[in-house]
Structure 1
């Protein structure tokens, strides 16, 4: 795949009622300004977590659905959307919660029929937040 890049950003999360977690992300990606918005909530009818993601580099919303495993403290969401070239894309986004102040999200996409790790994000709560 491509060369590894490191970048920084900030994310603010707020609850919308007691149902939806709404996220706003700002940072840079590949030297470009990057902004994204997401929401995730629990759908009692389907008994799974659902949500979507939009950002400043992708023309179509990514849809997500999946589960949370309390033993491993991991949420695994199946994703469906388009890649940065506008081609249909499916993948997996797994977030592991390491206490209340840290989490790691790993994203994999299906590329040419193979599961490929495309991104890993380590989140750390800002001091005093």
Structure 2
């Protein structure tokens, strides 16, 4: 069971540290985007996993805590992880891949449709490093029209 970290695990270690973030999100269709910010603390679990805990004030939800886990499964050759938030009961499960340049990690998930009660939808969260101290997370949902629609952008900056 002793697994040596691979390049994919090493890439995840770039996330480790203390971050602040500013988010712009469309919380309701046809409404203007709302802005909020927060902090995130990312730590390593061994050299194979990262755990990211975020704190923010979310419009309409008040104070929120989130937790994301990310790792890489060499047998599946896929990035894997989870996301939970104090504002919802759903456990999001990620399955993802890295782009060829190793700058963009796309995490796919299925979860509750934010516009239709009782319906599920496909989502993707995209993490892109602009520099070692700046990364951007964009969240998209697959619409009934078959197109991906961006509903959130968060800019993370490493605390100095």
The TM-score, its normalising length taken from structure 2, stands at: 0.73
Count of residues paired in the alignment = 127
Equivalent in the alignment of 1:80:
110
Which region of structure 1 is more displaced relative to structure 2, 50-59 or 82-91? Answer: 82-91
Is 1:20 the counterpart of 2:49? The answer is yes
Distance (whole Å) between structure 2 residues aligned to residue 86 and residue 51 of structure 1: 24
1:70-112 CA distance string (max 9 Å, x none): 5160001111222456642311111110121110010001243
Unaligned runs of 5+ in 1: none
Is 1:122 the counterpart of 2:152? The answer is no
SS of structure 2 residue aligned to 1:57: coil
Distance (whole Å) between structure 1 residues aligned to residue 118 and residue 127 of structure 2: 25
Superposed displacement of residue 29, structure 1? 1.1
Greater fraction of residues in strand: 1
The TM-score, its normalising length taken from structure 1, stands at: 0.89
Superposed displacement of residue 23, structure 1? 0.4
Distance (whole Å) between structure 1 residues aligned to residue 82 and residue 50 of structure 2: 11
Match of 1:93 among 118, 125, 137: 125
SS of structure 1 residue aligned to 2:90: strand
Is 1:46 the counterpart of 2:79? The answer is no
Distance (whole Å) between structure 1 residues aligned to residue 44 and residue 35 of structure 2: 29
Q: Given the superposition, is the C-alpha separation of residues 56 and 7 from structure 1 closer, same or farther in structure 2, using an over 3 Å criterion?
A: same
Equivalent in the alignment of 2:17:
none
Superposed displacement of residue 69, structure 1? 2.0
Unaligned runs of 5+ in 2: 1-28
